[in-house]
Structure 1
């Protein structure tokens, strides 16, 4: 099977490309570094010509309101190019609960991306993943200083990037879902507790202060980012992942 992986040189995309190759498929990585610009449209037609599946892992360079324009333009350009090329399946990686958090600009932008894909002419699949283990250090840095890390007790169900890769590959080589597949880690954990576990594993002597106003996830007060009972649960636990990624 021939596939184009948009964002194929990034954290998830490069692993998706490698796993598809290992499984005997023919993936092509498309990114600005390979001459593909989702906003201007440059190189998109060439990138999707003759492929069966397009896997869209591209991310906005910002998380503010301008991300709406990025996903609107990039999705419209990619859907139109895929239609011209006769692509049989378009796959997008999104976020669990993305349509339940309209107060966050980036989540509204990803919801718009999903809707544009659904409205398009090509059979599609949406893979919604929870927050990645690999991003937890960045999340903590938003509200940290030399002695403390301030985090809300927002409930998350994070998962390893490698498990996200497996799920994306599985959907990409299968029949279009014409819907959403939710994927999540095996454990639901408050963000402040995730922070404490992380600092202990890193031998970091800062303390975590529970602060319901700290950081982006302070805007989320319920279980909006926790996967429902229909989710496919990944095998990797955060504590085990920490033990091998210190």
Structure 2
């Protein structure tokens, strides 16, 4: 399957990258709101071309679906280059309600309903394949994707992570950032590979760590910038697709 990429001539994060969107961030002083970083971005595309036919996107979730909700809101705009065509969860996730309210097909593919992990991987891949997506978005999906999905949709799967990768990979990125005493963390959007948060970095935004931060307060501020960042990356990939 041909990877999504930017138009010829657009700068990529690395040569010959399957996914070629890039954000170059300059982290300046905090803005007028306490704790909110001033972030100036320079991106590979300056505008979003309109489309008659939006490209299909499948979203995988495990939780409340806050990133999914942001994608659905964006997809309602007239010039959006993508359409969420299905939402698939690995459990009875609360976020499925966002899709149902929007009239989008949903499916639950539970690990416990399959004899082993390999069978679940095949079932998940089949569920995604049914909707023929141009892009697969992991939006709070709490399982590593297996070889079948990577083999079929490699170069077309993206994920978010609540830290500035390659720092603090894994399930506890916010907690680990606090434990290490860093003054700046943030969020990343990456191309998914077979590792744990080791894929190509597509975009990042920095968030200041405040002295009084807890894991919850810091994570909430990260999510506030993570959602528009994810929407922006999905728009750019599908607009170029």
TM-score relative to the length of structure 1: 0.35
Higher relative contact order (CA 8 A, sep 6+): 2
Report which of the two has the higher share of strand.
2
Report which of the two has the higher share of helix.
1
Larger radius of gyration: 1
TM-score relative to the length of structure 2: 0.36
